[in-house]
Amino acid sequence: MPDQTDKQTFSDQDALDFHRVPTPGKISMAPTKPMATQRDLSLAYSPGVAIPVLAIAQDADLAYDYTAKGNLVAVISNGTAILGLGNLGHMASKPVMEGKSVLFKRFADVDSFDVEVKTTDPDEFITVVKNIGDTWGGINLEDIKSPECFVIESELQDLLDIPVFHDDQHGTAIISTAGLINAAHIAGKKLEDLKVVLVGAGAAGLSSIALMKAVGVRAENTVILDRDGVIYKGRDNVDQWKAAHATDTPHRTLAEAMVGADVVLGLAAKGAITKEMVASMAPNPIIFAMANPDPEITPEDVASVRSDAIMATGRSDYVNQVNNVLGFPYIFRGALDVRARQVNHEMKVACAQALAALAREDVPDEVAAAYSGRKLKFGPDYIIPTPFDPRLIWYIPPFVAQAAMDTGVARRPIPDMDAYRAQLRERVDPSAALMQKISSAVRAAPNKRVVFAEGEEATVIRAAWGFKQAELGTPILVGREDLIRQNAAEAGLDFDALGIEIVNARVSHKNTEYTDFLYDKLQRRGYLRRDVQRMINQDRNYFAASMVARGDADAVVTGSTRNFNMVLKEVRRVLDVKERMIGLSIMLARGRTLFVADTSIHELPDAEELAEIAIQAAATVRRLGRTPRVAFLSYSTFGNPPGDRGEKVREAIRILDRKGVDFEYEGEMPPELALDPEARANYPFMRLSADANVLVMPAIHSASISTRLVQALGGATVIGPLLVGLEKSVQIVSLGASVSEIITAATFAAYDGVEVNEG
């Protein structure tokens, strides 16, 4: 059994303060259009708003084009079954519904608002929602007690032409089914052979067993229990929803049903399952104790009687959390993007199967960071993806959308699923569009051989694996082969399947050649031949750089185990500077891409260096497919106030004037002039035809501090700094870089020399 993770605790006052301070509640509205001028106001409201009003009056479906309807979900409840707390009223449910809206936005970029309906009568509730339902692109029903929830969802789906989804039922069903698929695989059991016991025949339980049957569990192998015991055929006091799952079984108690069972699903209450019951189950039992806040049986109690069990709960402080946030944001994302009329059974199955498949993939470092560095790997401790897996947004919705298209409930089919996945990446990752373009260019170019210098490190091994799987080139790992293979095996990676190369510097047949080459460069700089031999043998940066210098590889990525300056000095002893060497950071913020230089090389550049930094940055930006517009940033604005640093910037402008460069440039100026056309109105002499996209900083400290500050405040994604100007392609990542950061650096390293069209 897995160990319990560190529990996260907080006081009641902490929870109250979180919801009250600094602003009551958890959601607010942000306009999507600027409201800065009288024209904006006229277009947004009267008289301009009349034009889309008349268009929608003629064709109601145009609301998807002219309003937020297509990305808007209502979270609706009457508070009759709040988070396992019971019927506490519609207003008591509001914090939960707001929370649901926050999760929609955070995980799938779906806009959502909560609606609390003051009635416990199903017919009244249906009437209210029916009459306001057209406002949204979809409706998420929440915390409505059973069996009324079945009636409400079914009737609203018939009455409305948009998806209606009761998450308490189907969200739990989707996630638990995904977990069951993987748990059965790990246990070496087939779905059709599983004997499944369900404890708790409420909405979530019945929906879960129904979905599990849809993926292969046989109805005759299931036993379902409610408060009165086993639901068997012929039993009295059973409603139509429970009766649909009744089986011919001799069992009448949970203890009887658990004997020899492969799976038990708990959606009941604390203590419903005992140690004795668990002990009586079949080998390698699968136990999903999903009651909240306290499971039917704790993992600790299960571990005390079974060492072979695969365990999941509904709690975040144990492994394998059955968390609905893995389902509803992505179900609705896919449904909204094809303008689906409903969320049908096939879409739920597709979601469950996609989640199961994703859990078998290598887990990104971003996930480990969200879980205090705990490394997750497919197995008994990890059968369900975690909510903070960044791949969920682009991995799951396409399967949902495809199922909607295949079953005829999609109004607007998606013609290109690859393009759709790229768009989904951009919703939560501003760098996705740029990286998609760079990656596509690398794949289309001749295959590049990229050396991963720190090849024994687990993160580097996984990055090389990801680089190869993405077909971005051929990775070469430098290190001891036995250790690399051992670390790869521990990460669940099969190098032989992909053909990743491994080179041991100490025993390489190229060792003598590289030593001769490097000694020839360093013999008049104080190095003896034995010094160089030791460098080649023992330092992978020297060896990796020599590989590209001698044409045995095309590029190098390194830096995850040493600081930047140390790595750069080592690489510079092997490789010469072809042009002005700079560090260029890419900052993606609020829909725009900015290139910032110099962020890693020149501490206090003089005027000549500033001019050369601008030239190199502009050339690099052009190679990245963009038209450069350079702004030299300063504390002063065209000489006001005067000062030495400002004068250096002005001299850099004069140098560029004399050189006659082929890109736009201007300075010196503060950031608002570079990025705001209205601010530039007071300076009609400025030469920039549009907002600057290359920002040349007056010193390395201002460049580094500004990019890191914006990133720390959550206002931007920063890539780099990219190393530009060496004779061969080398990228140096930051100390302790993640797998995704190393892959990004390797992709840029492979990209060097690839030409794309400007855009």
What would the two tokens of residue 435 be? 């990286």
8 A C-beta contact, residue 420 and residue 358: no
Cα–Cα distance measured from residue 113 to residue 29, given in angstroms and rounded to the nearest whole number = 9
The CA-atom distances, in angstroms, between 365 and each of 4, 243, 330, 435, 513 are 21, 46, 21, 18, 37
Rounded to an integer, what is the distance from CA 329 to the centroid of its chain?
13
What would the two tokens of residue 17 be? 């303060």
What would the two tokens of residue 201 be? 């025949």
| Residue 638: half-sphere exposure toward Cβ, Cα within 13 Å | 10
Cα–Cα distance measured from residue 376 to residue 360, given in angstroms and rounded to the nearest whole number = 11
Cα–Cα distance measured from residue 697 to residue 609, given in angstroms and rounded to the nearest whole number = 11
The CA-atom distances, in angstroms, between 630 and each of 242, 430, 613, 675, 694 are 69, 22, 11, 11, 5
Cα–Cα distance measured from residue 413 to residue 109, given in angstroms and rounded to the nearest whole number = 20
Cα–Cα distance measured from residue 140 to residue 129, given in angstroms and rounded to the nearest whole number = 11
> Nearest 5°: phi and psi at 315?
-105, 150
Three-state secondary structure along 154-168? HHHHHHCCCCEEEHH
Q: Catalytic amino acids?
A: 45, 100
The CA-atom distances, in angstroms, between 84 and each of 78, 102, 293, 533, 536 are 14, 20, 8, 69, 64
Longest dimension (CA), the chain: 97
Rounded to an integer, what is the distance from CA 175 to the centroid of its chain?
18
Sequence-distant (≥ 6) Cβ neighbours of residue 481 within 8 angstroms = 502, 504
| Residue 4: half-sphere exposure toward Cβ, Cα within 13 Å | 12
The CA-atom distances, in angstroms, between 95 and each of 101, 102, 114, 315, 665 are 10, 11, 9, 19, 51
Cα–Cα distance measured from residue 535 to residue 543, given in angstroms and rounded to the nearest whole number = 8
What would the two tokens of residue 45 be? 């409201």
Cα–Cα distance measured from residue 356 to residue 379, given in angstroms and rounded to the nearest whole number = 12
Q: Where do we find the tokens 């000095």?
A: 569
Sequence-distant (≥ 6) Cβ neighbours of residue 620 within 8 angstroms = 584, 595, 722, 724
Burial class from Cβ neighbours inside 10 Å (0-12, 13-18, 19+) for residue 647 reads: middle
